[in-house]
Amino acid sequence: MTARVLRAGIAGEPDQWAVNYGFAGGGFHEIGSLEPFETSAVMQSAMEDAFKGEHPGKITNYTGQLNALRHSVKVGDVILNPLKTSRKVTIGVVPKEYTYEDNEPDATKRHQIGVDWQQTNVPRAAFKDEILNTLNGAMSIFRAERDEAENRLRAVFDRGVDPGLYGRRAMSTSAAAAQPSTDDFDDVTEPIATPTIQSIRDRVQTYVIENSSGHKLTHLLAEILRTKGFTCEISPEGPDGGVDILVGSGPLGLGKPKLVVEVKSAQTQISSLVVRGLQSAITTKGASQGLLVARGGLNKQAQNEIRNDRLKIRAWEAEQVLDQLFEAYEFMPGATRRLIPLKRAWVLDEEDNDG
Are 30 and 134 contained in the same domain?
yes
* 261 or 187, greater pLDDT: 261
Backbone angles phi, psi at 116, to 5 degrees: -90, 95
Cα separation, 51 vs 37, in Å, equals 16
> In what order do the strands lie in the sheet containing 78-82?
23-25, 111-123, 88-100, 78-82, 3-6, 141-143
pLDDT tens-digit series, residues 303-323: 999 999 988 999 999 999 999
Are 153 and 222 contained in the same domain?
no
Cα separation, 53 vs 66, in Å, equals 19
- Ordered alpha helix ranges (H), the chain: 15-21, 40-50, 56-67, 129-135, 149-159, 165-169, 175-178, 197-211, 215-227, 272-284, 300-308, 318-328, 334-339
Are 25 and 149 contained in the same domain?
yes
Are 218 and 173 contained in the same domain?
no
Are 232 and 170 contained in the same domain?
no
pLDDT for the residue numbered 257: 83
pLDDT at 214 over 90: no
Residue 153's domain is classified under what CATH number? Answer: 3.10.590
pLDDT tens-digit series, residues 6-18: 887 666 677 888 8
Pairing state between β 111-123 and 23-25:
antiparallel
pLDDT for the residue numbered 267: 80
Are 229 and 131 contained in the same domain?
no
Domain count for the chain: 2
What residues contact 44, with CB distance under 8 A and at least 6 apart? Answer: 59, 60, 63
pLDDT for the residue numbered 166: 67
Are 48 and 137 contained in the same domain?
yes
In the chain, % of residues over pLDDT 90: 38
Q: How confident is the model at residue 179 (pLDDT cuts 50, 70, 90)?
A: very low
Average predicted confidence (pLDDT) for the chain: 84
pLDDT tens-digit series, residues 20-40: 889 988 888 899 999 999 888
31 membership: H or E segment, kind and range: none
- Is 110 inside a domain boundary? yes
Are 169 and 112 contained in the same domain?
yes
- Is 350 inside a domain boundary? no
pLDDT tens-digit series, residues 230-256: 999 999 887 766 789 999 988 877 888
* 315 or 162, greater pLDDT: 315
Cα separation, 245 vs 329, in Å, equals 20
pLDDT tens-digit series, residues 100-143: 999 999 888 899 999 999 888 888 888 888 888 888 877 888 88
In the chain, % of residues over pLDDT 70: 86
CA distances from 175 to 70, 151, 307 (A): 23, 11, 44
pLDDT at 196 over 80: no
Q: Which domain holds residue 301?
A: 212-339
- Give first-to-last CA distance, the chain, whole Å: 36
Are 189 and 219 contained in the same domain?
no
Other Cβ atoms less than 10 A from the Cβ of 258: the count is 19
* 228 or 257, greater pLDDT: 228
Are 232 and 155 contained in the same domain?
no
